[in-house]
Amino acid sequence: MPVVWADSNAQNSFKPEVVTYLEEKLLQSNAAGTKIKALLIVNPHNPLGRCYSRETLVALMAFCQRHHIHFISDEVYASTVFDSGEPDTHPFTSVLSIDPTGIIDQDLVHVEYGMAKDFGSAGLRVGALITRNAALQKGFQSIIRFHSPSGMSVTVASAMLEDREWCRKFLETAQSRISEAFRLVTTELSNIGVKHLRGTNAGLFLWIDLSSYLPPESSSLSKSEREFSLAQKLLDGGVFLHPGEEHALEAGWFRLVYTHDPRMVREGIKRIHSVLDKLSW
């Protein structure tokens, strides 16, 4: 199944006006013979670490209704929202909390969730599809026996989720630690002159701007090659950052996962600084 990207910048992606980009890309795709069947978003967003406002979600739902396409919201980072102290943030709003009446046919709305991120338990391989679409439910029931999680995973996940008090304490502690880690990494980055995307308040990562450290545009390298050149320099210096070439319109943005032991974060920033300080293209 081909994936069609509706490119927009990091700021406009979370405003109702993003629908303008979607409308344009949908028309282009239809004209090219590729029929769009669904809109997929990640909320909170990976890698930008931002949440969609309720207003924007309603606009996206209305867009899907107009074109009768499915609206899929991946909410795997739902409980990683924290107090970042950043301006222009939005609280997490699940699509499930919005009454679809008068906005979109409920059969077109689907939510994905898993325990990998919120509970730091990717190894459990436990997830869920939440939908009111009876035909879709029936289709999944026919194949789910071939894709079920292990009995051990179900037992562990059930024990975790059924203990409401444990879940509450775990998530509160996790969010507090993410907030502390966020403040540490943004302070350390600021100290070495590296900027990050503002408005972040969710996820386990930060979107940082290293565009000024890329090889010059006048070189024979493509955008992705320029990013990979810098990524290789960083890797040679003992730190791995995921290049933004598959995520971003603008060259030079990298995803930094900062939810580690503070000593590791400080050492990582120290190595980044050392590499950037010695660059000579």
Neighbour-count burial for 23-52, b at 16+ CB within 10 Å, e otherwise: eebbeeeeeeeeebeebebbbbbbbbbbbb
Q: What is the CATH number of the domain that holds 226?
A: 3.90.1150.10
Residue 72 falls inside a structural domain = yes
Same domain, 203 and 259: yes
| pLDDT confidence band for 217 (50 / 70 / 90) | confident
Residue 4 falls inside a structural domain = no
Average pLDDT over residues 46-61: 97
| pLDDT confidence band for 51 (50 / 70 / 90) | very high
Residue 6 falls inside a structural domain = no
The rounded mean pLDDT for the chain is: 94
pLDDT over 80 (residue 249): no
- DSSP codes, 89-147: ------GGGS--TTTS-GGGEEEEEESTTTTS-GGG--EEEEE--HHHHHHHHTTGGGS
Residue 2 falls inside a structural domain = no
Domain count, the chain: 2
| pLDDT confidence band for 248 (50 / 70 / 90) | low
Same domain, 156 and 235: no
In tens, the pLDDT along 68-90 reads 999 999 999 999 999 999 999 99
pLDDT for residue 246: 62
Expressed as residue numbers, the domain containing 151 is: 12-164
Residue 1 falls inside a structural domain = no
pLDDT over 70 (residue 43): yes
Same domain, 21 and 156: yes
Give residue for tokens 């689907």.
110
Same domain, 20 and 159: yes
Same domain, 46 and 157: yes
Same domain, 147 and 47: yes
Same domain, 157 and 177: no
Q: Which of 102, 133, 164 is the last residue of a domain?
A: 164
The pTM score is 0.92
Report yes or no: 58 and 98 within 8 Å, Cβ to Cβ: yes
Same domain, 45 and 88: yes
Residue 204 falls inside a structural domain = yes
Q: Which of 143, 164, 185 is the last residue of a domain?
A: 164
Same domain, 149 and 48: yes
Residue 17 falls inside a structural domain = yes
Same domain, 174 and 156: no
In tens, the pLDDT along 127-177 reads 999 999 999 999 998 888 888 889 999 999 999 999 999 999 999 999 999
Q: Which of 112, 132, 164 is the last residue of a domain?
A: 164
Same domain, 176 and 51: no
pLDDT for residue 247: 61
pLDDT over 90 (residue 111): yes
Q: What is the CATH number of the domain that holds 50?
A: 3.40.640.10
Contacts of 161 (CB under 8 A, 6+ apart): 167
Same domain, 247 and 197: yes
